[in-house]
Amino acid sequence: MIDYNDFEVWFLTGAQLLYGGDAVVAVDGHSNKMVQGLNESGRLPVKVVYKGTVNSAAEVSDAFRKANADPKCVGVITWMHTFSPAKMWIHGLKDFQKPLLHLHTQFNREIPWDTMDMDFMNLNQSAHGDREFGHICARMRVRRKVVVGYWQDPATQDKIAVWMRVCVAWADAQDMLILRFGDQMNNVAVTDGDKVEAEQRLGYHVDYMPFSDVMPYFDAVADKDVDALVAEYFRLYDHDAALEDRSTSGYRKIWNSAKAELTLRAVLKAKGAKGFTTNFDDLGDVNVEQTGRGFDQIPGLASQRLMQEGYGFGAEGDWKSAALFRTVWVMNKGMNGGCSFLEDYTLNFDGKRSAILQAHMLEICPLIADAKPKLEINFLGIGIRKSDTARLVFTSKKGPGCTATIIDLGNRFRLIANDVECIESKPLPKLHVASALWIPMPDFETGAGAWIMAGGTHHSCFSYDLTAEYWEDYAEIAGIEFLHINKDTTLSGFKKELRMNEVYYMLNKALQ
């Protein structure tokens, strides 16, 4: 679904010709060593490609134009080795359309006290050169990540690594298609929004696909493929042995669920979609029991497994969550903790351990499971099909994580991230859903209070691996509002931030 090896981040070194050709040759040598060192660090998920020194406005513009045009390039790192007069960056920065990281570092770690002379100083000018570059970015309101630190230090490299993952996810979103099987659940506000603005601002496109268009894919699924998928389910997941009896209605439900998964995957592949939404009131032919054509149950198991595979998912027509989950999955690729679409399900008041059970009636991604999921058939009495329904049931890992959502405030998108602590849950013998239990930081009252003050959704996209730094980088690239609810948040401080942002975005819009 995504391979980080397909992408590159370009490295441009700012210099000028004032100090002569020899200086530029030396700058080039240093830059090569730095880029080689960054690539060999083993800490960066995307290859850095050195694109040479830029010494004039024409060279800067040419480099950024090439970066814009190359689909492999997901972002550019700039570093000023010498003093690089920043007016020569104006045209290039004005044209540049991809994420920018300004690295403030220096080739040598320490000052060579005993040997340093004026030649050395003419060559190694990052201390003031990077400030000149920073000025023009600030003056031009260029959105960028500024990373300060020695290039060989893991802490510096890790900040670049975070940004790189966000860059890949950002590039992935620019041609993302989200398919909606059904509309928003009637009357729901928070999961809706301006799809035109979303495409302009966040890159992805959202389309409706009626079930009449899905049916040819359903009809084309071969029985032997369904049989094979059911066998895979039984291999992969714990289950009651009785479910394997082909004469039972339980087996039939699992078989139909597998057919729904193959149908949805075929549709998504054929359309080149990276995510989808479902609606439990819209599942095709209402007479499915008689006709055998259509989904006889909400395709929850399919959604769980497609999420794990990398497809974005949002329940009840929630296309913003579908797109955001795909982004989370891409950023999370190759990391150990896992990620999922989740919903604030029910509250557990318990003093300082007050927590929120995170679940959904079916659709939780198995990547966050703490053990092998159990495949179950249970009755689900909601939506157009009140029916026995297949699902994977599990509890989730303990530990810290971060959850995020994007809402549409009418004049802007707002990204809200909340650090959370996943704690030990308890068995739910009568509620057959996958779940997690977490305390929002800094505590339940403040975390939930701030989220509600900010207008956050009941759906969110959670990861054990991604920190708020990822979301800060994402919001910076997208140019949207970012709010981070964390261990230092107070409700009164948070309310001030909301009020100040209101003014900032009103003015910002007026200035555009």
The answer to whether the beta carbons of residues 256 and 296 sit under 8 Å apart is yes
The helix or strand, by DSSP H or E, that contains position 393, with its residue range, turns out to be strand 387-393
Write down the least CB distance from residue 340 to Mn ion, Å: 13
**Residue placing its CB nearer to Mn ion in the complex, 172 or 344:** 344
**Residue placing its CB nearer to Mn ion in the complex, 157 or 321:** 321
The answer to whether the beta carbons of residues 11 and 48 sit under 8 Å apart is yes
Candidate residues 9, 267, 315, 375; the one interacting with Mn ion per rule CB under 5 A? 315
Q: Which one-letter amino acid corresponds to residue 471? A: W
Segment interacting with Mn ion (CB under 5 A) among 255-263, 336-344, 351-359, 489-497: 336-344
For tokens 């794990």, the residue is 308
**Residue placing its CB nearer to Mn ion in the complex, 123 or 404:** 404
**Residue placing its CB nearer to Mn ion in the complex, 343 or 408:** 343
**3-state SS, residue 177:** strand
- Return the closest-CA partner of residue 404 out of 465, 468, 349, 358: 468
Write down the least CB distance from residue 467 to Mn ion, Å: 25
Write down the least CB distance from residue 262 to Mn ion, Å: 24
Residues 228-257 that bind Mn ion (CB under 5 A): none
Q: Cα angle at 56 between 55 and 62, to 5 degrees?
A: 100
Segment interacting with Mn ion (CB under 5 A) among 40-48, 149-157, 313-321, 387-395: 313-321
Write down the least CB distance from residue 357 to Mn ion, Å: 13
Phi, psi of 457 (to 5 degrees): -70, 165
* Cα–Cα distance measured from residue 188 to residue 446, given in angstroms and rounded to the nearest whole number: 25
Question: Token pair of 404, please?
Answer: 């995020």
- Is 364 among the residues that bind Mn ion (CB under 5 A)? no
* Cα–Cα distance measured from residue 383 to residue 280, given in angstroms and rounded to the nearest whole number: 5
Write down the least CB distance from residue 362 to Mn ion, Å: 10
Write down the least CB distance from residue 279 to Mn ion, Å: 11
Phi, psi of 47 (to 5 degrees): -70, 135
Write down the least CB distance from residue 315 to Mn ion, Å: 4
Write down the least CB distance from residue 481 to Mn ion, Å: 24
* Cα–Cα distance measured from residue 88 to residue 308, given in angstroms and rounded to the nearest whole number: 47
Segment interacting with Mn ion (CB under 5 A) among 342-350, 435-443, 464-472, 484-492: 342-350
Segment interacting with Mn ion (CB under 5 A) among 139-147, 249-257, 315-323, 430-438: 315-323
**Residue placing its CB nearer to Mn ion in the complex, 315 or 450:** 315
**Residue placing its CB nearer to Mn ion in the complex, 221 or 357:** 357
Segment interacting with Mn ion (CB under 5 A) among 38-46, 114-122, 127-135, 341-349: 341-349
Query: Nearest-CB residue to Mn ion?
Result: 315
**Residue placing its CB nearer to Mn ion in the complex, 44 or 315:** 315
Write down the least CB distance from residue 406 to Mn ion, Å: 16
Write down the least CB distance from residue 343 to Mn ion, Å: 5
Which value, to the nearest 10 degrees, does the dihedral of the CA atoms of residues 481, 10, 178, 292 take? -140
The number of residues making up the chain comes to: 512
For tokens 């949207």, the residue is 480
- Is 343 among the residues that bind Mn ion (CB under 5 A)? yes
Which residues, in sequence order, are CB contacts of 259 under 8 Å at separation 6+? 218, 221, 226
* Peptide bond preceding 85 in cis form (omega within 30 of 0): no
Write down the least CB distance from residue 316 to Mn ion, Å: 5
The answer to whether the beta carbons of residues 454 and 439 sit under 8 Å apart is no
**3-state SS, residue 281:** coil
The gap from C-alpha 429 to its chain's centroid, in whole angstroms, comes to 33
# of chain residues touching Mn ion (CB under 5 A): 2
- Is 363 among the residues that bind Mn ion (CB under 5 A)? no
Neighbour count for residue 187 (Cβ, 10 Å): 6
State how beta strands 413-422 and 435-440 pair: antiparallel
**Residue placing its CB nearer to Mn ion in the complex, 169 or 359:** 359
- Residues 448-487 vs Mn ion: string with x where CB under 5 A? ----------------------------------------
- Is 23 among the residues that bind Mn ion (CB under 5 A)? no
Measured CA to CA in angstroms, residue 218 lies from 215, 229, 232, 284, 285 at distances of 5, 15, 20, 11, 12
Write down the least CB distance from residue 382 to Mn ion, Å: 11
- Which residues sit at the interface with Mn ion, rule CB under 5 A? 315, 343
